[in-house]
């Protein structure tokens, strides 16, 4: 009999424990509350994001500098090629008019007929 009472007491205790658990609701942290480690994690994440943004801006700046230098070099090449084209056009006109160009040797060297000594 004492044994049955002991079991009934244990059952009532376990039933009370189950009801109190059900009354408590969800386990774990409550929404809206952040622990100090989570706050540190958020701060660290924000700092990493800021650092990543800084690095991205620096890469972008270097890329634009490289492209600007490339454009400047190409513009210089275009100017040089236009000057050479103008010079060749003038030599062509002189040859069509049966006039020997002033820099005949230079013309032949540029074309590749006459080798430099």
Per-residue tens of pLDDT for the chain, all 117 residues: 555 566 666 666 555 555 555 555 667 666 666 667 788 889 999 999 999 999 999 999 999 999 999 999 999 999 999 998 998 898 888 888 888 777 777 777 777 666 665
Asked whether residue 32 is domain-assigned, the answer is: no
The CA distance from 103 to 16, in Å, is: 113
Asked whether residue 79 is domain-assigned, the answer is: yes
How many domains is the chain built from? 1
The CA distance from 64 to 20, in Å, is: 66
Asked whether residue 25 is domain-assigned, the answer is: no
Domain coverage including residue 53 = 41-116
Q: What is the pLDDT of residue 83?
A: 92
The CA distance from 24 to 19, in Å, is: 9
Asked whether residue 35 is domain-assigned, the answer is: no
Q: What is the pLDDT of residue 86?
A: 92
Asked whether residue 31 is domain-assigned, the answer is: no
Q: What is the pLDDT of residue 106?
A: 72
Asked whether residue 80 is domain-assigned, the answer is: yes
Asked whether residue 111 is domain-assigned, the answer is: yes
Asked whether residue 106 is domain-assigned, the answer is: yes
């Amino acid at each position: 009999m004492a044994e049955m009472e002991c079991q009934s007491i244990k059952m009532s205790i376990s039933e009370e424990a189950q009801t109190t658990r059900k009354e408590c609701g969800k386990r774990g942290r409550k929404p809206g509350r952040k622990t100090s480690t989570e706050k540190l994690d958020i701060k660290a994440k924000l700092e990493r994001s800021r650092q990543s943004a800084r690095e991205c801006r620096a890469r972008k700046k270097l890329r634009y500098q490289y492209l600007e230098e490339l454009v400047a070099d190409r513009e210089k090449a275009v100017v040089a090629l236009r000057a050479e084209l103008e010079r060749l056009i003038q030599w062509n006109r002189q040859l069509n008019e049966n006039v020997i160009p002033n820099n005949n040797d230079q013309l032949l060297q540029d074309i590749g007929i006459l080798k430099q000594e």
